[in-house]
């Protein structure tokens, strides 16, 4: 073990190889600049740890549980069965979703006011 402290840190928090300091430098950038005896060993540790992190990230993104796989399955179903039809709600369906006894004016707008402003500036949507 050329750098037991670095090995221990990487085992504790392997994603630290991807962290940047306040100047935007990665750990590998700092090791490249500094001149010390075990620089090559530390660089090898950082590189292998970074490769493992990126491979694991790539595997997670490419797994069957990702959104990419869901999107692919949706495209296959659309090709096979056709695109889903949009469900159009009519006024009676909207009224049936309301509680009984509640009057609903479908043509009325909604008044939106702002607490700190006068009621002169109203927005109707």
Per-residue pLDDT of the chain (125 residues; tens, 9 = 90+): 578 898 999 999 988 898 999 999 998 889 988 888 888 889 999 999 998 888 887 776 665 555 666 777 777 787 787 777 666 556 555 555 555 666 656 666 666 555 655 556 555 55
**13, HSE (Cβ side, Cα atoms, 13 Å):** 7
pLDDT at 97: 55
Which residue has tokens 């085992």?
Answer: 11
Q: What pTM was computed for the model?
A: 0.46
Radius of gyration for the chain, computed over Cα atoms and rounded to the nearest angstrom:
30
The residue ranges of every structural domain in the chain are 4-78
In angstroms, what CA-CA distances link 96 with 48, 84, 99? 62, 24, 8
pLDDT at 123: 55
For 11, the token pair is 């085992």
């Amino acid at each position: 073990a050329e750098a037991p402290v670095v090995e221990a840190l990487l085992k504790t928090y392997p994603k630290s190889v991807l962290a940047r300091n306040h100047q935007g430098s990665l750990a590998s950038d700092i090791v490249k600049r500094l001149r010390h005896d075990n620089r090559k060993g530390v660089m090898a540790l950082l590189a292998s740890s970074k490769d493992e992190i990126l491979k694991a990230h790539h595997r997670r993104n490419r797994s069957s549980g990702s959104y990419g796989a869901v999107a692919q399955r949706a495209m296959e179903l659309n090709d096979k069965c056709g695109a889903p039809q949009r469900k159009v709600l009519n006024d009676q369906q909207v009224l049936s979703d309301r509680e009984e006894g509640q009057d609903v004016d479908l043509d009325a707008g909604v008044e939106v006011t702002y607490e700190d402003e006068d009621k002169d500036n109203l927005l109707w949507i």
